[in-house]
Amino acid sequence: MKVGFYGHVRQYHNIKDEIDGNIQTVLESGSYVMGPMLSKCEEELKAYMGTKYAIGVGNGTDAIYLSLIALGVGPGDEVITHPNTFFATAEAAWIVGCKVVFVDCDEDTRCIDPAKIEAAITDKTKAILPVHLYGQCAPMKEIRTIADKHNLFVVEDNAQGIDGYGDGFKQGELSDAVCTSFIIQKNLGCFGDGGAVFTNNPDIDAKIRKLRNHGSDARNHHSQGFNSRLDDIQAGVVSAKLKHITKWTDQRIAWAGQYTRKLAGAKNFRLPTVRPGYRHVFHLYVLEVNDPSKRDAMVDFLKENGIDAKTHYSIAIHQQDGFPWGKEYSFHGTFENAERNADSCVSLPLYPELTQEEADYVVEKVLEWDSAQ
């Protein structure tokens, strides 16, 4: 049997009429950029998130750096995040000339460890950039408390966490901006690149609207900006899929629950941790092999058996060798947890469109590997 890592073609087939209908509407409208489908999608997105504003942008990376610029965070300022995330989290801060200060992640959730943040704050620190890694919200209450104490902005990297919430908080409630990505492999994926910023701050909304469109808020009037818009065809795809996101997340959570129950007896790896009261949306189901030297062999074993397992992310950002703008980053302390995560992570296929047969087969092969150790 073959089990692929993504279910988006199945997903397209499941709601083909709705997606095709929206794309057709855009094609016939003649408005493909900054048109009515984008406005409709933004209205739906903000209603869904419960924030005052939603701005469609070109991708998730742009969502982050446009938010930083709108907040006035830029060259020479320091932004705190953790190194075991997708490269773009740090890249977005580098793009605007910030120094990225890494602190280690939590031992269990692999989100940023709030206990490590304060020691990394200097008089140049302007923002904390927590990542809702793998689909579980970072501990936003603790982060907000630290941000308030030191007068810092908080920008949520929510590329992986859409439709999630934490214990007693919603996304956007405890931050200045929430940034998401609609690239196809994310839980709410369009058919190309796309992203959005959510905020409750009218000033940030107005600034990002301008920044994404060549610094223009009126025809022929410009200030320095970018070209970073969610185009109307992609907005049509997001709009069609948004109606299904809650149900899809529930299905992800159900598959994750099955994996966790059925793999609970395994001896050679640990399973994902879900914090009480959190809705972990399982963008990724990541287990960690106890003996990291066996990790690659486990991935190979699964691949040989037709299961497209992956690693997220097997090289932490501070371990990457290419920093295009030199040493504009710094480390704070050590990164045992992030490095452990990089060395031992294995992501199993998990998406709403998985079948029972496929899920059972994944469990069977993972347990087969486990008992052979």
Ligand X SMILES: *Cc1c(COP(=O)(O)O)cnc(C)c1O
- Measured distance CA(319)–CA(315) in Å, rounded: 6
Among all chains, which residue has been given the structure tokens 């990541």?
286
- Measured distance CA(9)–CA(7) in Å, rounded: 6
Residues 194 to 253 in contact with ligand X, rule: CB under 6 A: 195
Q: Would you count residue 263 as binding ligand X (CB under 6 A)?
A: no
Which of 56-64, 256-264, 318-326, 363-371 is the region at the interface with ligand X (rule: CB under 6 A)?
Answer: 56-64
Instruction: Using the minimum distance from each CB to ligand X, give the nearer residue, 7 or 60.
Output: 60
**Among residues 54, 183, 188, 342, which is the contact residue for ligand X, using CB under 6 A?**
183
Q: Would you count residue 84 as binding ligand X (CB under 6 A)?
A: no
Q: Least distance in Å: CB of 261 to ligand X?
A: 27
**Among residues 125, 181, 249, 341, which is the contact residue for ligand X, using CB under 6 A?**
181
Q: Least distance in Å: CB of 1 to ligand X?
A: 28
Q: What DSSP letter does each residue of 144-161 carry, written as one string?
A: HHHHHHHT-EEEEE-TTT
Instruction: Using the minimum distance from each CB to ligand X, give the nearer residue, 89 or 251.
Output: 89
Among all chains, which residue has been given the structure tokens 């287990």?
287
Determine which helix (DSSP H) or strand (DSSP E) holds 362, and give its type and residue range: helix 356-371
Count of residues engaged in binding ligand X, rule: CB under 6 A? 15
Tokens of 3: 């089990």
Positive or negative, the CA dihedral 155, 161, 166, 172 is: positive
Contact 23, 233 (CB under 8 A): yes
User: Percentage helix, strand, coil, to 5, in the chain?
Assistant: 40, 15, 40
Which of 152-160, 285-293, 331-339, 362-370 is the region at the interface with ligand X (rule: CB under 6 A)?
Answer: 152-160
Instruction: Using the minimum distance from each CB to ligand X, give the nearer residue, 84 or 305.
Output: 84
> Hey, how many other C-beta atoms are within 10 angstroms of the C-beta on 112?
29
Q: Would you count residue 347 as binding ligand X (CB under 6 A)?
A: no
| 198-219 core/surface letters (b: 16 or more CB in 10 A; e: else) | bbbeeebbebbbbbbbeeeeee
Instruction: Using the minimum distance from each CB to ligand X, give the nearer residue, 176 or 193.
Output: 193
Q: Would you count residue 86 as binding ligand X (CB under 6 A)?
A: yes
> Hey, how many other C-beta atoms are within 10 angstroms of the C-beta on 78?
21
- Measured distance CA(24)–CA(17) in Å, rounded: 10
Q: Would you count residue 11 as binding ligand X (CB under 6 A)?
A: no
Determine which helix (DSSP H) or strand (DSSP E) holds 169, and give its type and residue range: strand 169-170
Task: Report helix, strand or coil for 223.
Answer: coil
Minimal CB distance residue for ligand X: 60
Which of 53-61, 96-104, 164-172, 332-340 is the region at the interface with ligand X (rule: CB under 6 A)?
Answer: 53-61
Q: Least distance in Å: CB of 133 to ligand X?
A: 7
Q: Would you count residue 61 as binding ligand X (CB under 6 A)?
A: yes
Q: Would you count residue 163 as binding ligand X (CB under 6 A)?
A: no
Q: Would you count residue 59 as binding ligand X (CB under 6 A)?
A: yes
Residues 89 to 148 in contact with ligand X, rule: CB under 6 A: 89, 131
Q: Which residues bind ligand X (CB under 6 A)?
A: 59-61, 85-86, 88-89, 131, 157, 159-160, 181, 183, 193, 195
